[in-house]
Structure 1
Amino acid sequence: MSSKIVLIDGHSILNRAFYGLPDLTNAEGLHTNAIYGFLTIMFKLLEEEKPDYLTVAFDVHAPTFRHKMYAEYKGTRKPMADELRQQVPVIKEVLQAMGVKTIECAGLEADDLIGTLSKRCERKDMEVVVISGDRDLLQLATEHVKIRIPKTKQGRTEIEDYYAKDVFERYQVTPEEFIDLKALMGDTADNIPGVPGIGEKTATKIITQYHSIETAHDHVEELKPPRASKSLNEYWDLAVLSKELATINVNAEFSYELSEAKLGNVYTEEAYVFFQKLEFKNLLSRFDVAAPANKIEDGFRIITSKREAEEIFAKAEKAQTTGTVLFKDMENVLPLFADQAGLGGIGLCFSNEAGFCIKTGNDISGEWLLEKLADVAETTDTFSMFHLKESMDQIKIRKPENCFDVSVAAYLLNPLKNNYTWEDVAREHLDLMVDEKADQEIKACYEAYTNYASVEVLSRKLADTKMDTLFREIEMPLVFTLFDMEQNGIRVEAEALKQYGNQLACKIGDLEKEIYEEAGETFNINSPKQLGVVLFENMKLPGGRKTKTGYSTAADVLEKLAPEHPVVAKILEYRQYTKLKSTYADGLANYIQDDGRIHGKFNQTITATGRISSTEPNLQNIPVRMELGRLIRKVFIPEDGYRFVDADYSQIELRVLAHCSGDEHLIRAYKEQSDIHRITASQVFHIPFDEVTPQQRRNAKAVNFGIVYGISSFGLSQDLSITRKEAAKYIDDYFATYPGIKTFLDHAVTHAKEEGYVVTLFGRRRPVPELSSSNFMQRSFGERVAMNSPIQGAAADIIKIAMIRVNQKLKKQKMKSRLVLQVHDELLIEAYEPELEAVQKILKEEMEHAAKLKVPLEIDMHTGVNWYEAK
């Protein structure tokens, strides 16, 4: 049985993977999608081919092209994207770590290396498999050389296979003739110009008849159609060049030892470390190795004796910094019931020499462990955990000022990564690799050590980036405020929610009948495919945009179509009601707990701007645009003897913009308490203040808020249904009216381009890597981010300060009233009726004085017997 070698065209497969997969970055900001895609394709092919040898060929960074004109022609092609360029040296390092042979040679391109190697190996009676995204390499196909061309679409890889017979079947030419075919028809993907005016069909006809461009040129007067004859005669030099460009050198001179390409176990310990750094977690399962042992592991101890545990706790209480973690008892619980598992033990670390896993069992109870941890949290100078809030329902924290949340610190340093794990912190900040397959007890020691050791590192980095005050005075106190809100929960009237769902069901049923009547047939309204056929084929409505899966019936398509027929508006309305029913009427019911309240989660390490997000369920996304959507707020009710107090900042982002920009006109308008949208309309549209129409005010409002989000003339034209030219004039006139805003926004973009990030009033940094992208759309998005983030981030910080102070004051005064919800710029208090006036006073005082700006902060405040009434 002959041996087999796989030859991979490195740059070609990287390029295919880069453009076929969505962008990925690791914690260090390295783009990794091309590397990930390359490895995925390589693993798939190795499993299928099971080769004896493997070599990956790369182009040299500055190749000497085969022809002077080739260099000139290739010089016109689009340069490699920076996001791809940075991944090339990394994949080479990864392959080296895997023991994979790589080859590159000055003066030769990768396809020359592959072409030569394929012939050398074929002469040794080897089976050869060539992997490339470039069809140029089809000329190498024989009975023993197979060309495999991967295509990556939406994260999935499909592969076309070609032996010589397959090339002929697909192109009606032999592999040798394929060179001449390319010379005539050209290939922009492979940078071959071809002959103008000759396409694939004509080129195929010519080569199948004459077999080469030279013979075709000898019979140029006979070529059909006449335009092909004329083109080949006129552009003969270009045809010759194209053939030279398309011809792979199969007799190149370079040194290569086949023995060095012998394929061994690619899943090496060194590669495992690389995969961890690159955060390819789902590929780690392929490795049957452990991460390299760390010296700290020598000091890890598993404790099952209460006497030993007491000695360890005594030392921890006196320690300067203590890192800890709780873990569940999974030994006696099936994974499906993990939530029901009890405390299995804790990890504890307070020095660089030792880490402890103290397990429950024998005479160590979970209650005793938690009591001892509470004592440690009170007496140690710094009590450090990862996701502290999630453990506070078990550990009683008596001194919040002692606490350090590692996840929050890491998030501040890299807010673009919203799924930080403690392993990420260990790797990124401590250069510590943890074995994924380690026992739970060892992992507990590692996490405790990470929480201990990262305090000093993260604190220093926060200070270096001037975010230490933000962390200490806003983000850490917020942990405790969010915990209180989650514990408080919000009461929901289950029966009213059910009735609301029934009301929606009736409305949906009525709409369904009306839609069928308008359409003249019954169909599945929720099926985009069926809906598209009904609207654009059966009803013959205009604007149908057909895709591979059928007509597009996306919301933006239907909104433009709505004026054409009343059925479209009914379909949009139907979608809104079905969304309301499934997400809110039915969905919220699943979250009501035994106490009749929903205890959702509030997350502070998800959004890049610093905004708090809400999940399980998302209570920040309760509908407000439709009246029937707003009515769902009626099911949220306070406890008996309580009332809701809702306080909402008035135009906080515009006020922050006025402060940050220092624009005199905007500041004066706020200080004079003018109608800001009316005054903007008056100044931008050059009309007296008293003559501004409601429509002009609405347009000015759209411009005011659009500017905050870096809106473009196109975006504004869409929002206001006006021409792009009109929208551009609105924006120009706006900046002429408020020149300070233009200066501020331009500076924000310039700063972000120079420094790589923007900063809020309170020192929060938001990296803007999109500004350095080679993609125009990404850069444009980056500019909008740079304009908006300082505003939205500062507004988020202000509401955080307000909610912290409100919550602390309610608790300090031992009031029964409690903070139950935050929705971006809005706070909702469940106020004990005898405390109602005091609560309103606290809200007004703390919210309006949360920050000292050049313009006053103002709130709108209402009370009610349900959230709808209070809002």
Structure 2
Amino acid sequence: MSDKNTSKPLVLVDGSSYLFRAFYALPSSLTSPDGMQTNAIHGVLNMLDRLRKDYQPDHMAVIFDAKGKTFRNDMFPEYKATRPPMPDELRDQIEPLHKIIEAQGYPMIVMPGVEADDVIGTMSKLYDGDVIISTGDKDMAQLVDDQISLINTMSNSFHDRAGVIEKYGVPPERIRDYLALMGDKVDNIPGVPKVGPKTAVKWLTEYDSLEAIMQNADKFGGKIGENLRESLEFLPLSYELVTIKCDLELDVSPEYLSFNEENKQLLAELYQKYGFRTRLSNLQSTSDTPIQLKPEAVGSNSDSEEIGIPEIEEIKEVDYQTILTEEQLDSWIADLKDSKLFAFDTETTSLAYMDARVVGMSFCIKAGTAAYLPLAHDYVGVPQQLNFDATLAKLKPLLVDPTILKVGQNLKYDRSVLLNHDIELKGIAHDTMLESYVLDSVSNRHDMDTLCEKHLGHINVKFEDVAGKGKKQLTFNQIQIDDVVQESDDPDVEATVTRGAAYYAAEDADMTLRLHNFFWPQLKPRQSQEKLYREIEVPLLKVLSDIERNGVLVNAEMLAKQSEELTVRMKELEQDIYESAGGEFNLGSPKQIQEIFFNEDKLNLPVIRKTPKGQPSTAEDVLQELAEEHDVPRWLLEHRGLSKLKSTYTDKLPLEINPQTGRVHTSYHQAVAATGRLSSSNPNLQNIPVRNAEGRRIRQSFVAPEGFKILAADYSQIELRIMAHLSGDDGLVEAFSQGKDIHRATAAEIFEVGLDDVQTEQRRAAKAVNFGLIYGMSAFGLAKQLKVSRTEAAEYVTKYFKRYPGVKHYMEDTREKAKEDGYVETLFGRRLYLPEINAKNAMRRQYAERTAINAPMQGTAADIIKVAMIGVNDWLREGTSNTTMIMQVHDELVFEVAEDEIEAVQSKIIERMVNAAKLDVPLVVDTGLGINWDEAH
């Protein structure tokens, strides 16, 4: 052993942990010149660079899991058995990453039969000095002691012994007890059912150890006590499974983990092969000897610089101010007016935008410097705040000035809240949520906390950190403005700081500006995406805000009556089901449904399909197939449908009527669906059924006020029209251009009959083919839908492609281009990445191929209606009409129109919707009028 190293720590890197996290955190669009995904390699290499720069260690190693089973599988064969297989796109990156790491000179360890955790555990305990373990794995917290600490470079978090206690609620020596109690679904480690972190901490606080908890298991009451007693048999095994081995026989002592000399020639070849342009350039510029490379490959594809990813601004010290005086306010207003762009955020009393009132605002002009302006905090002992009304009046000119540019995160909400105070936020130049969404719509999380952790490596102060959780959670006006510093009686223990409202709010503004500085350099050079963002997504923000605030009238009495009728019908169905089944059972329990449906002594229905565990499946499609021949599954499906309608709409809609406006105000979500389609919640307007009587009755409760009518304007067959345009197929273009019934025309071709001789069933089959093909339906799926043989369905498809060859060519070309580019685009430049388009797994690859064909059509349809909404809204805001836009649902816009201006308004709306895009076929808009939505649809 060497003398204790007191200056530089040993750095041990959990390579496997970062490999997975980088793969899922970084864009799948990072690829090598030959199309191989390289995002995980990028992430791990960047993390290693940062560690080496921050700690400048003499001793360091990168440890990865080896292939194959470990001693834990011998202990428990089901260990990690439920984990999904590693994606091919990640597996393909492992060997190249290992080669690059070794060529860079890092000691790398891959030890068969054990996990990386065990190698790290043994190394850390053997080393005579300070150890930094770089990992994102919570299991490693058990290793922490006075010399061993954890750092997570992806979240910028550091944990010593005190940090572990603060984060987990238990000391490092109790982490194994804590983990064993909870179990691990990912690794298939059994724990105590329903025991989560809070319960585990509570039990360990009271009994100190897992052993003591097990010895006192008979003292635990209720269901959780039963769960504990039923788990006693497995808890010792769980404890062993989560225990990191620290006594392995290693081939190398940690003191000998020194860096090797870089193999620059090999490194250059690897950087070139996998498209790391910046690394290659830096290597060439610093190399003492010439590096020989194949000239044709230099400068190809996708280093992070190629897609415009900037250097992340390092977060060091920040200057977060609290504005409590007129002098401070005036100074900030002057600076905000002079700025080219400032970040802006509101803190409010509620998430419900129609009810929320401003509590305070935060601003940021320069990353790292931000301010919070508290205006309506009202807890006991709150410091003197500036006058609410006078301050808003002073800020209003700044906020309504369209020439003073603002950036925010989900500014639709802030705009709506300010309108509650008669301030219309203008000058909305950027929204970081939308920037993220346009850059990568496949990532379905675009909230600030996720974006900061993913792209900036920064963990924000969470709302729960300052407001608490559950029933005791405070509203923002009740949160203390200043940080709370709690000194320790122990002079060796640092004081703890609980962040207050000012820090939380200022950080939001600061991080918003940092996110914009990260996203905008990537988005700006991409002309089509930048135009989509600037001309559609950002303007649409204001349109959606207007529609939300307009709201829609809902007849609560009609819904209450329907709820009563649904209750009666559901009870009738329950009685029919119980009588046929020979007794009552839980209609929501798959296990009990299995027992009733498939037991020889019960209904003895045929088993259509089995679950992975070998049980008869009760999935929706299985029940639908059974319902064709048997009453009970048909009644069960009807009961489920009615139950969902009742709980989601007839019971809930009346509760969502705003008492101030008397209307229901939904929330539209711009940054959710990968294809660009809008979604809505509270209530979800997209899912109200239109094909059954119960759904139509719900739509009948959406009514027009006196003197008005509901006008519904719906694009006719828009995705098929887009298919005609994209494919350029002469037959499709001609049919739409001549105003033919496209399904009848297709039926005439498939069934070889005259247009006038097409039967209803033939048209229905043709419709299924038309829509099925654009959604990637196979002949098997078509046969199932039409209830014909697979051969007959395949013949329909063959005849379709023979009649419309341009469609087939489009599909083939689109698949190939998607495989080359890794994405597809709409007519407006919306890009949908397809990380699995080249997957080795056939099922996943085929799904990506179907998505590649459908996404440009569905996405273009979404873009078109967004353009139409902007155009119609611009016209409505001119103020020449009493019409208001009240809903957007799929391809339909819904309006309230004054009865005396219906004709003029109808023509204006149709005109703007028809002209939202120029296609090779005409866009057609169908309209309807009525006293309610159903009548107008």
Fold shared by both chains (TM-score > 0.5): yes
Cα separation, partners in 2 of 1:486 and 1:93, compared to 1, 3 Å: farther
The equivalent of 2:474 in structure 1 is none
Q: Select the residue among 77, 81, 90 that pairs with 2:88.
A: 81
Letter in 1 for 2:859: G
Where does residue 390 of structure 1 map in the other structure? 413
CA distance in 2, matches of 1:112, 1:845: 65
C-alpha deviation, 1:678, in angstroms: 1.1
- TM-aligned CA distance change 1:256 to 1:553, over 3 Å: same
- Counterpart of 2:508 in structure 1 is 447
Secondary structure (helix, strand or coil) at the match of 1:623 reads coil
Match for 1:461: what amino acid?
Q
CA distance in 1 between counterparts of 2:330 and 2:785 reads 66
Cα 1:400/1:715, change in 2 over 3 Å? farther
Deviation at 1:385, TM superposition (A): 1.3
C-alpha distance in 1, partners of 2:685/2:560? 18
Q: What secondary structure, in the 3-state scheme, does the structure 2 residue paired with 1:854 have? A: coil
Secondary structure of the 1:772 match is coil
Structure-2 separation of matches of 1:640 and 1:573: 36
Secondary structure of the structure 1 residue equivalent to 2:837: helix
Any conservation in 2 of the 1:462–1:468 contact (CA below 8 Å)?
A: yes
- The answer to whether 1:541 aligns with 2:605 is yes
Equivalent of residue 924 in structure 2, options 833, 858, 870: 858
1:654-733 matches, within 5 Å, as: 654-733=720-799
Given the superposition, is the C-alpha separation of residues 257 and 417 from structure 1 closer, same or farther in structure 2, using an over 3 Å criterion?
Answer: closer
Deviation (angstroms), 1:81: 2.9
Deviation string, structure 1 residues 319-346 (Cα, Å, up to 9, x no partner): 22121111247xxxxx999998864422
C-alpha contact 1:710 1:785 (8 A) present in aligned 2: yes
- State the shift of 1:860 in Å: 1.3
Equivalence for 1:26? 25
Distance (Å, rounded) in 2 between the aligned partners of 1:599 and 1:699: 39
CA–CA separation in structure 2 for the residues paired with 1:647 and 1:339: 27
Contact 2:14–2:117 at 8 Å: present in 1 too?
Answer: no
Q: Using a 3 Å threshold, how does the CA distance of structure 1 residues 337 and 404 change in structure 2: closer, same or farther?
A: closer
Contact 2:418 2:424 in 1 (8 A): no
Q: Within 5 A, what are the aligned runs for 1:67-466? A: 81-86=88-93, 104=109, 109=112, 155=186, 157-158=188-189, 254-257=251-254, 297-328=317-348, 343-351=358-366, 354-360=369-375, 362-379=384-401, 380-396=403-419, 400=426, 402-426=428-452, 439-452=500-513, 454-455=515-516, 458-466=519-527
Residue ranges of structure 2 left out of the alignment (5+ in a row):
1-11, 31-36, 42-59, 69-84, 127-136, 138-175, 192-246, 259-311, 376-382, 466-498
Aligned to 1:836: 902
Structure 2 residue 863 is the aligned partner of structure 1 residue 802: no
Aligned-partner Cα distance in 2 for 1:628–1:754: 47
Alignment of structure 1 residues 615-626 onto 2, 5 Å: 615-626=681-692
Question: In 2 relative to 1, CA 119–817 (structure 1 residues): closer, same or farther, beyond 3 Å?
Answer: closer
1:486 deviates by 0.7
Aligned-partner SS, 2:744: helix
**In the TM superposition, what are the counterparts of 1:591-670 in structure 2 within 5 Å?**
591-594=656-659, 595-670=661-736
Structure 1 89/439 Cα, relative in aligned 2: closer, same or farther at 3 Å? farther
**2:344–2:363 contact (8 Å) kept in structure 1:** yes
1:840–1:520: structure 2 CA closer, same or farther, 3 Å change rule? Answer: same
1:589 aligned to 2:654?
Answer: yes
TM-fit CA distance, 1:687: 2.7
SS of corresponding position for 1:392: helix
**Matched residues in 2 for 1:602 and 1:862: separation?**
23
- Is 1:781 the equivalent of 2:843? no
CA distance in 2, matches of 1:575, 1:430: 45
Whole-Å Cα distance in 2 between the matches of residues 110 and 733 of structure 1? 57
Cα offsets for 1:132-177 (capped at 9, x unmatched): xxxxxxxxxxxxxx9x9999985363169xxxxxxxxxxxxxxxxx
Q: Cα gap change, 1:369/1:387 in structure 2, threshold over 3 Å: closer, same or farther?
A: farther
Q: Tell me how far apart the structure 2 counterparts of residues 156 and 579 of structure 1 sit (CA, whole Å).
A: 34
| Secondary structure class of the residue paired with 2:607 | coil
- 2:825 matched residue in structure 1: 759
Partner amino acid, structure 2, of 1:690? D
More deviation, 832-841/796-805: 832-841
Would the aligned equivalents of 2:398 and 2:404 in 1 still touch at CA under 8 Å? Answer: no
- Normalising by structure 2, we get a TM-score of 0.64
Shift of 1:866: 0.8
Q: Distance in 1 between matches of 2:124 and 2:340?
A: 65
Q: How many Å separate the matches in 2 of 1:592 and 1:441? A: 34
Give the root-mean-square deviation of aligned CA atoms: 4.5
Counterpart CA distance in 2 for 1:10 and 1:471 is 39
**Can you list the C-alpha shifts for 1:206-246, whole angstroms capped at 9, x where unaligned?**
xxxxxxxxxxxxxxxxxxxxxxxxxxxxxxxxxxxxxxxxx
Judge conservation of contact 2:775–2:850 (CA < 8 Å) in 1.
yes
Specify the SS of the correspondent of 1:499: helix
Residues 247-306 of structure 1 deviation map (CA, whole Å, 9 limit, x = unaligned)? xxx999933248989xxxxxxxxxxxxxxxxxxxxxxxxxxxxxx995674444322112
**Are positions 1:737 and 2:790 aligned together?**
no
Distance in 1 between residues matched to 2:744 and 2:624, nearest whole Å? 28
Determine whether 1:483 maps to 2:535: no
User: What's the counterpart of residue 239 of structure 2?
Assistant: none
Greater displacement, 789-798 / 446-455: 446-455
Distance 2:792 2:437 in 1: 42
What is the CA-CA distance between 1:798 and the residue it aligns to? Answer: 0.7
1:612-642 superposed Cα distances (whole Å, 9 cap, x missing partner): 1011110111111212222211111111211
In 1, distance between residues paired with 2:632 and 2:405? 63
Cα distance change on mapping 1:117 and 1:528 into 2, 3 Å: closer
Please list the CA deviations of residues 714-749 of structure 1 after superposition, one character each: whole Å capped at 9, or x if unmatched. Answer: 222222223333333322222221111122222222
Gap regions ≥5 residues in structure 1: 1-7, 36-53, 63-77, 95-100, 124-130, 132-145, 161-249, 262-291, 330-334
Change over 3 Å in CA distance of 1:490–1:316 after alignment to 2: same
% same residue: 35
Note closer, same or farther for the CA distance 1:406–1:559 as it changes in structure 2 (3 Å cut). Answer: same
Equivalent-residue separation in structure 2 for 1:481 and 1:715 (angstroms): 39
Task: Summarize deviations over 1:37-90 as a string: whole Å, max 9, x none.
Answer: xxxxxxxxxxxxxxxxx999647899xxxxxxxxxxxxxxx9983324547899
Q: Between Structure 1 and Structure 2, which shows a larger proportion of helix residues? A: 1
Larger Rg: 1
